[in-house]
Amino acid sequence: MSSDRRRMTGVIVSNKMQKTVVVRTTRRYRHRMYKKVIDRHNKVMAHDELGCEMGDEVRIVESRPISKRKRWVVEEILSRNIAGGKG
């Protein structure tokens, strides 16, 4: 495992493409002024050789550009089908 590559965890929201999944990542932080906890979501496309299903929680790792929008690869499946994957 190379430690200089970024890693994120997220949930699969789409697996309709061949060997490509859409992963929704969530970043939670507290607002500086209002102190309210805010969730920010981001969707990225990732290369999938593991056969992920909708709703799986996965770890993705940064990689070389694979296509126009794919710069991540699914590294491992952390848990299977969290609440059906609807988000």
pLDDT digits (tens, 9 = 90+) for 27-77: 999 999 999 999 999 999 999 999 999 999 999 999 999 999 999 999 999
Q: Where are the domains of the chain?
A: 7-85
> What pLDDT score does 3 carry?
73
| CATH value of 7-85 in 3.40.50.1860, 3.30.70.20, 3.40.50.300, 2.40.50.140 | 2.40.50.140
Give this prediction's pTM. 0.85
> What pLDDT score does 73 carry?
98
Using alpha carbons, list the distances in angstroms from residue 84 to 28, 32, 53, 56, 71.
Answer: 22, 34, 9, 8, 25
- How many angstroms separate the CA atoms of 21 and 69, rounded? 11
pLDDT digits (tens, 9 = 90+) for 47-60: 999 999 999 999 99
